[in-house]
C-alpha cells in the first residue's frame, strides 16, 4: 500500500511537514541541507505493507522500539530504497477495546451525574415543600 494512500500511510501533506520539521532541527552548516537518512523510509517515500499489523512477540517488544507505543507492528517495504522496516500500527481489535472502554467510562460518568441530579432535585423538592408548609401555617 503506498504512503498516504490509505490506512497505513500519512496524508500527502504530512510528508512535507516531516521534511520541514527535519530541516528545522537538522540544519548542517551554512548550506542548510537536510539529511533524510536518519528518518524512517516510510516518512519520505512510498511503501508497501509486507506483513499486516500484528501483536509484537516478547522478543520484538524488547528489541524493536516501534513496539513500544502500541504493542503492534507491521513490516513495510519502501519502494525506492527497497528497505524493510517495522512501523508501529494500531490494530482493529485494540481500537475496539479502547472504544468500549471509552463508552463504559462515558456511561459511568453519565450515571454519576444522573444520581447527582436526582439527589439535588429531591433537596429542592424538600425545600419547596417546607416553604409551602410554612406559608400554609402562617395563614
99 shares a domain with 86 = no
What pLDDT band is residue 114 in, cutting at 50, 70 and 90?
A: very high
Q: Please check whether residue 61 lies inside any domain of the structure.
A: yes
For the chain, the average pLDDT equals 79
* Model pTM score: 0.49
109 shares a domain with 78 = no
Q: Please check whether residue 82 lies inside any domain of the structure.
A: yes
What pLDDT band is residue 139 in, cutting at 50, 70 and 90?
A: confident
Q: Please check whether residue 15 lies inside any domain of the structure.
A: no
Among 63, 22, 28, which residue's Cα sits nearest to residue 43? 22
96 shares a domain with 84 = no
**What CATH number did the domain enclosing 55 receive?**
3.30.720.220
Range of the domain at 75: 40-90
The sign of the dihedral angle between the CA atoms of 43, 49, 53, 54 is: negative
Q: Please check whether residue 31 lies inside any domain of the structure.
A: no
pLDDT at residue 30 tops 60: no
pLDDT at residue 135 tops 80: yes
Residue 1 pLDDT: 45
Q: Please check whether residue 100 lies inside any domain of the structure.
A: yes
Tens digit of pLDDT for each residue in 34-43? 566 678 888 8
pLDDT at residue 70 tops 60: yes
Contact, 79 vs 46, CB < 8 A?
A: yes
- Grid coordinates of 86: 517495522
Q: Please check whether residue 3 lies inside any domain of the structure.
A: no
Q: Please check whether residue 25 lies inside any domain of the structure.
A: no
Tens digit of pLDDT for each residue in 79-105? 888 888 888 888 888 889 999 999 999
d(CA 2, CA 64): 23
47 shares a domain with 85 = yes
Residue 37 pLDDT: 66
SS3 readout for the chain: CCCCCCCCCCCHHHHHHHHHHHHHHCCECCCCECCCCCCCHHHHCCEEEEEEEEECCHHHHHHCCCHHHHCEEEEEEECCCCCEEEEECCCHHHHHHHHHHHHHHHHHHHHHHHHHHHHHHHHHHHHHHHHHHHHHHCC
Residue 119 pLDDT: 98
Tell me how many domains the chain contains. Answer: 2
Q: Please check whether residue 126 lies inside any domain of the structure.
A: yes
Contact, 91 vs 72, CB < 8 A?
A: yes
Percent above pLDDT 90 for the chain: 29
Amino acid at each position: 500500500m503506498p504512503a498516504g494512500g490509505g490506512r497505513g500511510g500519512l496524508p500527502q501533506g504530512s510528508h512535507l511537514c516531516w521534511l520541514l520539521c527535519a530541516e528545522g532541527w537538522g540544519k548542517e552548516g551554512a548550506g542548510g541541507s537536510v539529511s533524510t537518512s536518519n528518518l524512517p523510509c516510510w516518512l519520505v517515500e512510498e511503501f508497501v505493507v509486507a506483513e499486516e499489523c500484528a501483536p509484537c512477540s516478547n522478543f520484538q517488544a524488547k528489541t524493536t522500539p516501534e513496539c513500544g507505543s502500541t504493542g503492534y507492528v507491521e513490516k513495510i517495504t519502501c519502494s525506492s530504497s527497497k528497505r524493510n522496516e517495522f512501523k508501529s500500527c494500531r490494530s482493529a481489535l485494540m481500537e475496539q477495546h479502547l472504544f468500549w472502554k471509552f463508552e463504559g467510562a462515558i456511561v459511568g460518568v453519565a450515571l454519576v451525574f444522573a444520581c447527582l441530579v436526582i439527589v439535588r432535585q429531591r433537596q429542592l423538592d424538600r425545600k419547596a415543600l417546607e416553604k409551602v408548609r410554612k406559608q400554609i401555617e402562617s395563614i
